[in-house]
Structure 1
Amino acid sequence: MSSVVYQGLFFLAILIILAAPLGWYIKKVMQGTPPRGARVLQPLERFFYKIIGPLSQKEMTAGRYILNVILLSVFSLILLIVILMTQHWLPGGSEVKNLSLPLALNTAVSFVTNTNWQAYAGETTLSNTAQMFGLTVQNFVSAAVGIAVLSAFLRGLVQTKKRLLGNFWQDVTRSLVYILLPLSLILALVLISQGTVQTFQTGQTYQSLEGKNLWLYLGPVASQVAIKQLGTNGGGFFGANSAYPFENPTLMTNFLENLAILLIPVALIFTFGFWVKKWKQGRTILIVSVFFVSLAFIGVAFSEYYGPQFAHVLGSTNLEGKEVRFGVGWSSLWAIGTTAASNGSVNAMLDSFTPFGGAIPMFLMQLGEIIFGGVGSGLYGMLAFILLAVFIAGLLVGRTPEYLGKKIDAFDIKMASLVILTPLMLTLFGTMALVLHPEVLSWLTNRGPHAFSELLYGATSLGNNNGSAFGGLLADTTYLNLIGSLMMWVSRFVPIVAILLLAENMGGKKRAALSSGTLSTVSPTFVTMLIIVILVIGALSFLPAVALGPIAEFFTFK
């Protein structure tokens, strides 16, 4: 167990060391002043502006920014549905069938919303063309939208008496050209060097040890894996995701992919501190996030090492559902990283984790994907919690709530509450909708508390734009495809609308002078307050449901 703790500490140290300069770089890029070394990409940026046209020139109000976010997303949705429903007739698609409308809709919504919930096995269901020009493209676009919305929100926080939030198309272009594309290219090349597949071949035959001729699926894997991790997308090329050797072949690729999941989310915390020119504000978020991730990692690893016994086969360590080459430590770290961030990729079967080992990743998602969280969305979700904590603290001590020198009014709290409560309510109502369906038992491979955990985890994943699967739940049903599509769409865009309206309202305010009555949002007291607010909201909302699943399973586990 001690070696696992050292693994976690080493991973965290490397993550923060890399994230700090990347955060400064992202700040410079998104403010329109890329560092000297990155200016070689400016011709590509200008090329995109020429294609977009006049829309890329003027600053936008919140309403216009929202409209453009929705228009791009709807266009992406329609285009991806068309690709998936016609893939058999497209080049390289003769060996696969066209997707049904419910499955195509679910898949398209999933990738457009940065959820990447997969109700299919990619290697047998999709063509290389659909994977490259459909899914991989949306991995880039959905991540870029998240960074763009966060940039607009940060402008609203720092500017005074100005309600314009920048230009959406410039924000998306900058995040693609200067951040996502270069990082993905570098990571893809490293993955290829380690054995991750990258080819236009659909596969080749090979002979098994028993002498049978079998088919080995291949494709442009490394290019999709790179952006699926860096963009906190998570959708795997293969059905087994990052547990599959051709997608994640070595300990080195496992470390790098796990690092990539959290790299940009952590870097954006540094970006926030640099952007508002008050690093201590970013430090508050980093401390809270590291606190939750560290406790979660220790909890999962401890549960898998010292949980219910498997002495008849494996001794006291639960290796069921895990890749032997990764073991408990790296599997636990991945499970925490993928659910702390809004990623959803897996390198082990979460359905085989111990009750508490599976409950902790589920609870990280239920907090609203704010602990590092998705690219862009995680940080603005955390900032919504900070505004709520500031408001509550102000009520407790009788001070006017302020953040970054701006007074927090009723409208701000309403918008922050929408950001916080939308995923929460979707998770609870989504679980209810699944449990009450008359055919629900036919979708499950288990019974009892574990079966309920599978349903609760699925609804949590859909309602928080995560996309990871607990396992044991038949996902490709018309009902789940349709209700899942609705949950993913609402969970993505209601918070985006709320956060942009909040940004506009904050940007139009004047900055108040600091005084002895100003509540400090960088003190240990406020850090503790923020942790309590996050825990109370999560615990009060989900404890009854978790008690019916993982907690009940723990006390009945044999």
Structure 2
Amino acid sequence: MSTNVAGVLAVALLVALLCAGYRPLGDHMYRVYTDRRHLRVERVIYRLTGVNPDAGQRWGVYARSVLAFSLVSVLLLYLLERVQAHLPGSLGFAGVAPPLAWNTAVSFMTNTNWQAYSGESTMGHLVQMAGLAVQNFVSAAVGISVAIAVVRGLAHRRAPVAPGAGSRDNALDAGEELGNFWVDLTRTVIRLLLPIGVLAALVLIAGGAIQNLHGVRLVDTLTGGHQAITGGPVASQEAIKELGTNGGGFYNVNSAHPFENPTSWTNLFEIYLLLVLPFSLPRTFGRMVGDRRQGLVIVSVMAVLAIGSLTAGAAFQAVHHGTVPTAVGAATEGTETRFGVPNSSLFATATTLTSTGAVNSFHDSYTSLGGATLLFNMMLGEIAPGGTGSGLYGMLVLAVITVFVAGLMIGRTPEYLGKRIGSREIRFAAMYFLITPAIALLGTGIAMGLPGERASMLNSGAHGLSEVLYAFTSAANNNGSAFAGISVNTTWYNTALGLAMLLGRLLPMLFVLAMAGSFARQQPLPATAGTLPTHRPQFAGMLAGTAVILVALTFFPALALGPLAEGMHA
């Protein structure tokens, strides 16, 4: 069987598995976030932390809870890294240097998992398990929690206020509740991520991924030399790395390493893991707003954009230049021979369309237009289907913008799911959309303007610009993959990319929660003849077009100077 045929069959099987999981997993998440009961273990956690699980939160309180939890996460992980040498299971590794420790702590807290280090020679087992793996769970849970809060804001039907009921603040107590962040966080970890993560880890162990507490061992190679190989709890971290769209690998080569990704079927299983939650969340959204057709529209747009990206990326990898690529029929440089070009393109597309960032091939070695496709995936805001939670609320922001633009075109007051889109809501939506491009482009411009940072580039010209643009786009969108080709383990890059990750994660969350709080305050509007139907294919086409056009207008100059210029030169 040719690799192209095998690649098509792999895509078909993946689509079938995602379709099979859409309804049951989406319905399960709906029950998780609408259940009024608390499990016994959850009640214990609430008592220990002093949380009242039955108290709702306005958007400001919800946002402050997210910020507080994120701050504590960064500090604890930074501390673990710095004192690593004094901890059990350190494998003899020294404490992580301050700039790298800051970058890594922010990276894993923000669900980016950008790694400016080699995991097998930098992080001991305790830091990997108690630090990085724990953040893989909770950072994914934070994203899902924010998405559910946004959906609650759209779904909330505020009860009319009786005459003389009190002040405006009292009148808004019910209307502004978006749920309780601490309850959402706990339920996401206990009821969703842990059970699936355990099962996924067992599957990976059965497929050959390692799971042990071995240290560094010297082994004899086939050439008669020696090589140091680090063991560790790889399968358990690999499972949540993909399921939570985190992406940080136990080993430097990530999912190209046979200890993390042993076979072609585990490769497909890992792709399934990183897509299944983001593709199922629209079902949860549809059920929570009381119209399952709304969820079908969102997931349809996600699927169309994903299939278009995969088709383009695979085609560009087949359009090759040079003697060797022409002889073998594809651009194979940087790909793992176990998976071939089709499965490498599939993995690369899935990991950049989500906020995963895991890799099973070297993105820097892709063709110029193939690399441009991966860049474009992240520039979309990773909404097809995006990260755990972030993809859904990113798509909902685009839906709000689409309805607003359509309302301007027909001269009517725009509304989405019965909620009026006014100047306040559209300002939050605009700031959400503009903040990550501003961070990515500003960071790239500063890096290219500094002689010292240009000196750390291993490539010059258009490809060198593409590498820097990819790094800041990946950081600002909390992806974590890299073109490589630049030395990023420097004080400047560790600091700058850390700030890009931090701002690219927290500011959009604040804007989208503020928008949700504004929607929650509103009385629902009845549908009229002028209401734009948002459950039909027409709206799906408008939504997909809005996403692509906005990205094209924002990033085209940078793409033209980088990968497009390189492609034309080739």
Aligned to 2:267: 254
CA drift of 1:271 comes to 0.9
Equivalent position amino acid for 1:126 in 2: M
C-alpha spacing 1:94/1:320, structure 2 compared with 1 (3 Å) = closer
Report if the CA contact (8 A) 2:84-2:95 is conserved.
yes
Length-normalised TM-score, structure 2: 0.94
Aligned to 1:52: 49
Aligned to 1:26: 29
Q: How far apart, CA to CA, are the structure 2 residues paired with 1:481 and 1:29?
A: 38
Q: How far apart, CA to CA, are the structure 2 residues paired with 1:517 and 1:225?
A: 50
What pairs up with 1:369-380 in 2 under 5 angstroms? 369-380=382-393
Equivalent position amino acid for 2:508 in 1: P
**Alignment partner for residue 145 of structure 2, among 144, 148, 155?**
148
CA drift of 1:513 comes to 1.2
Unpaired runs of 5+ residues, structure 1, are: none
Report if the CA contact (8 A) 2:216-2:229 is conserved.
yes
**Alignment partner for residue 112 of structure 2, among 109, 112, 115?**
115
Aligned to 1:266: 279
CA drift of 1:441 comes to 3.0
Equivalent position amino acid for 1:458 in 2: A
Aligned to 1:306: 319
Name the SS of the counterpart of 2:328 in structure 1: coil
Equivalent position amino acid for 2:547 in 1: I
Name the SS of the counterpart of 2:386 in structure 1: coil
What pairs up with 1:268-287 in 2 under 5 angstroms? 268-287=281-300
Aligned to 1:65: 62
**Residue 213 in 1 paired to residue 226 in 2?**
yes
CA drift of 1:270 comes to 1.2
Q: RMSD over aligned Cα, in angstroms?
A: 1.4
Report if the CA contact (8 A) 1:5-1:298 is conserved.
no
Q: How far apart, CA to CA, are the structure 1 residues paired with 2:372 and 2:36?
A: 44
CA drift of 1:449 comes to 1.1
Name the SS of the counterpart of 2:510 in structure 1: helix
Length-normalised TM-score, structure 1: 0.96
Name the SS of the counterpart of 1:475 in structure 2: coil
Cα-to-partner distance string for 1:298-317 (whole Å, 9 max, x where unaligned): 11111112332443785221
Report if the CA contact (8 A) 1:368-1:424 is conserved.
no
CA drift of 1:481 comes to 0.6
Equivalent position amino acid for 2:217 in 1: Q
Q: Which moves more between the two structures, 312-321 or 192-201?
A: 312-321
Q: How far apart, CA to CA, are the structure 2 residues paired with 1:198 and 1:149?
A: 32
Report if the CA contact (8 A) 1:56-1:168 is conserved.
no
Report if the CA contact (8 A) 1:4-1:301 is conserved.
no
Report if the CA contact (8 A) 1:85-1:101 is conserved.
yes
Report if the CA contact (8 A) 1:309-1:315 is conserved.
no
Q: How far apart, CA to CA, are the structure 1 residues paired with 2:226 and 2:399?
A: 58
Report if the CA contact (8 A) 1:308-1:316 is conserved.
no
**Residue 486 in 1 paired to residue 499 in 2?**
yes
Cα-to-partner distance string for 1:116-166 (whole Å, 9 max, x where unaligned): 110001000111111111100111111111111111111111112211111
What pairs up with 1:365-444 in 2 under 5 angstroms? 365-444=378-457
Cα-to-partner distance string for 1:421-464 (whole Å, 9 max, x where unaligned): 11111111111111111112322221211111111111110111
CA drift of 1:277 comes to 1.8
**Alignment partner for residue 12 of structure 1, among 2, 7, 15?**
15
What percent identity do the matched residue pairs reach? Answer: 42
What pairs up with 1:93-108 in 2 under 5 angstroms? 93-108=90-105
What pairs up with 1:118-517 in 2 under 5 angstroms? 118-161=115-158, 162-311=175-324, 314-517=327-530
Q: Which moves more between the two structures, 56-65 or 349-358?
A: 56-65
CA drift of 1:94 comes to 4.9
Equivalent position amino acid for 1:456 in 2: L
Report if the CA contact (8 A) 1:230-1:261 is conserved.
yes
Q: How far apart, CA to CA, are the structure 1 residues paired with 2:117 and 2:533?
A: 49
Q: How far apart, CA to CA, are the structure 1 residues paired with 2:392 and 2:44?
A: 30
Report if the CA contact (8 A) 1:387-1:403 is conserved.
yes
Report if the CA contact (8 A) 1:7-1:329 is conserved.
no
Equivalent position amino acid for 2:127 in 1: A
Equivalent position amino acid for 1:153 in 2: V
Name the SS of the counterpart of 1:115 in structure 2: coil
Paired residue total: 551
Unpaired runs of 5+ residues, structure 2, are: 159-174
Q: How far apart, CA to CA, are the structure 2 residues paired with 1:97 and 1:237?
A: 17
Name the SS of the counterpart of 1:54 in structure 2: coil
Name the SS of the counterpart of 2:259 in structure 1: coil
Q: How far apart, CA to CA, are the structure 1 residues paired with 2:417 and 2:70?
A: 32
Aligned to 1:91: 88
Q: How far apart, CA to CA, are the structure 2 residues paired with 1:511 and 1:132?
A: 46
Equivalent position amino acid for 1:59 in 2: G
Name the SS of the counterpart of 1:541 in structure 2: helix
Q: Which moves more between the two structures, 357-366 or 528-537?
A: 528-537
Name the SS of the counterpart of 1:439 in structure 2: helix
